Amino acid sequence: MDYETATKEILALTHGETDAVALMATLACEIHARHPFSDWTGFYRVVAPELMKIGPYQGGHGCLVIPFSRGVCGACARSGQVQNVPDVDAFPDHIACSSTTRSELVLPVWNGAGRLLGVLDLDSNTPAAFTKADKDWLVPLLATVFRDAA
């Protein structure tokens, strides 16, 4: 995957935008189209204390509601740490939104004021689909794109 070109194009598409949902929709589309192993790419938005609801995504259906206390997305929101899970069946309390998902990469999405807006969730039907290079690409990209998001 060409991370450098993807970053340039995504930053050009999102330049000047501050609406979090518009940014999420654009990133879900772009990342899903570019990542060879992401079979579901989307966001879960923080809507209440300790609670997320589905946001913009690409792929089949997703779970509508995820509490911070459950699953890979909840662990990411709760801890503020990236979760790279090579085998979802080995993850305690994994929420199976799709029976075909084998691995996940979930990243927290913060704005520049330090407010957690939600999480970016990449699901793959391939075991161990996501790499450190994916994380190293997405962490700074999310920080830049969502810096001024409300």
pLDDT at 121: 97
pLDDT at 35: 96
pLDDT at 93: 77
pLDDT at 96: 74
Type of residue numbered 43: F
- Residue 98 pLDDT > 80, yes or no? no
- Residues with Cβ within 8 Å of 38's Cβ and at least 6 positions away in sequence, in order, are 31, 32, 59, 122, 123, 124, 129
- The count of other CB atoms within 10 Å of the CB of residue 61 is 10
pLDDT at 94: 76
Consecutive H or E run containing 67: strand 65-67
Separation of alpha carbons 87 and 149, rounded Å: 32
Tell me the pairing of strands 40-48 and 83-85.
unpaired
pLDDT of 116-148, one tens digit each?
999 999 999 999 999 999 999 999 999 999 999
pLDDT at 141: 98
The CA R_g of the chain, rounded to the nearest whole Å, is 14
- 58: Cα within 13 Å, side-chain hemisphere: 18
- Residue 100 pLDDT > 90, yes or no? no
From residue 107, alpha-carbon distances to 11, 74, 82, 146 in Å are 18, 11, 5, 13
Q: How far is CA 46 from the centre of its chain?
A: 13
Separation of alpha carbons 146 and 125, rounded Å: 28
pLDDT band at 112 (very low <50, low <70, confident <90, very high): very high
